[in-house]
Amino acid sequence: NAGVTQTPKFRILKIGQSMTLQCAQDMNHNYMYWYRQDPGMGLKLIYYSVGAGITDKGEVPNGYNVSRSTTEDFPLRLELAAPSQTSVYFCASSYTTGRETQYFGPGTRLLVL
Amino acid sequence: GENVEQHPSTLSVQEGDSAVIKCTYSDSASNYFPWYKQELGKRPQLIIDIRSNVGEKKDQRIAVTLNKTAKHFSLHITETQPEDSAVYFCAASKGNAGNMLTFGGGTRLMVKP
């Protein structure tokens, strides 16, 4: 199993540009998550999904969108990049309620200039 | 919503000494408390977790204790080694649909040889 994979590893965006961060898992997990981690800080939940077609906002959803058309994939969309979105983005997944361990991907480092 | 506070933010110990990191949570409905270790430039990885029906759990040099009445839990690392140097995050979850975790701000542990 590859576990949770993310692409790209690193990206530089100009202000106002758009991009999609890709996330995939091959563990047949129902739940998936997107976090951002600013330098020297903890993890903040952006969006999460409890299954294909079902998504919900986390703590810091503004400026982002998600979709979940399959169990495996959970892309994160930035529509109009802003310098405040400079961060490391982690995708994670877990089984279901009662099996809470979250497994993280390697992260995407995003720099908005 | 849930709020998790973590102390200290940095901790420096001599190799072989013990290290203790403490977290408090605000929501008495939280029932799952994992600890993650994040090495520089890497993804967070689960090192130990505890559920609210257990007061203490050990795994070799690592132990976690939970005081539900006081709403705090702690990570104990004995016989620290240089490879224990990393940032440690505590988290809390109510175990409801989505298994959402609220993370503490992190503790940077430095083990001096």
Who among B46, B89, B98 is closest to A101 (CB)?
B46
Who among B1, B43, B105 is closest to A105 (CB)?
B43
Contact A97 B104 (CB under 8 A): no
Q: Does residue B95 surpass a pLDDT of 80? A: no
**Is-contact A74 A92, C-beta < 8 A?**
no
Find the range with the poorest average confidence among A26-30, B42-46, B98-102: B98-102
pLDDT by residue for chain A (113 residues), tens only, comes to 789 999 999 999 999 999 999 999 999 999 999 999 998 889 999 999 999 999 999 999 999 999 999 999 999 999 899 999 999 999 999 987 667 789 999 999 999 99
Please tell me the predicted confidence (pLDDT) of residue A98. Answer: 67
Mean pLDDT over each residue of chain B, to the nearest integer: 94
Nearest residue to B91 via CA among B77, B110, B105, B79 = B105
**Is-contact B92 B25, C-beta < 8 A?**
yes
Q: Does residue B28 surpass a pLDDT of 70? A: yes
Please tell me the predicted confidence (pLDDT) of residue B62. Answer: 98
Average pLDDT over residues B35-45: 96
Cα A43 to Cα B34: distance, rounded to the nearest angstrom:
14
Give the pairing type, strands B19-25 and B4-7.
Answer: antiparallel
Average pLDDT over residues B87-110: 90
Tokens of residue B75, six digits? 């990570």
End-to-end CA separation in angstroms for chain B: 41
Binding-face residues of A in 60-89 toward B, CB within 8 A? none
Q: Does residue B83 surpass a pLDDT of 80? A: yes
- B/e letters for A32-55, b = 16+ CB within 10 Å, e = fewer, are bbbbbbeeeebbbbbbbbbebeeb
Who among A45, A90, A101 is closest to B43 (CB)?
A90
Give A111's contacts (C-beta < 8 A, 6+ positions apart).
A10, A11, A12, A13, A86
Please tell me the predicted confidence (pLDDT) of residue B99. Answer: 79
